[in-house]
Amino acid sequence: MTRVRVTAPRSATSGSATAGSVTSGSTALNGGPSAAASREAAEESDAGQLFVRSLISSQLRLSLVVGLGFLLILLAFPLMLGLVPGLAGSTIAGLPFDWVLLGAGIYPVIGLSAWLYVRTAARNEARYRDLAGEK
């Protein structure tokens, strides 16, 4: 793995690697295309545009599925309290059950939803990088 040293942002007028730019391994030093340039070239081709659209749609689908699943679980809590008689009036360790349910039951659901989203989004992006030929 090549070390990257960032000293300053790349200036808009400079096209080559200068002291104030980002250099990464032998590609930038040998005058070859950088990773950003190869990514832009891949995105400009028809196949690259198809890959980007596919990534965007898969990320959108993922966010909708995780968001809707979270909302369904969140809405199930008050429905359960309203449909099960006597549940709202019960206590656990002196605390009302609905408070315990919302306080201790919702945070694991939030954490699980976030973990699922991040894990699947990273997998989608890794698949895109594999298809686009990026390292």
Reported as a single tens digit per residue, the pLDDT across 38-87 is: 556 556 677 778 888 888 999 999 999 999 998 998 888 888 888 888 88
Tell me the three state secondary structure of residue 114. helix
Give the pTM.
Answer: 0.57
What is the rounded CA–CA span in Å between residue 100 and residue 89? 12
What is the rounded CA–CA span in Å between residue 42 and residue 39? 5
Minimum mean pLDDT range among 26-30, 55-59, 77-81, 105-109: 26-30
Predicted pLDDT at 22: 45
Contact status, residue 4 vs residue 22, Cβ threshold 8 Å: yes
Tell me the three state secondary structure of residue 5. strand
Contact status, residue 63 vs residue 117, Cβ threshold 8 Å: yes
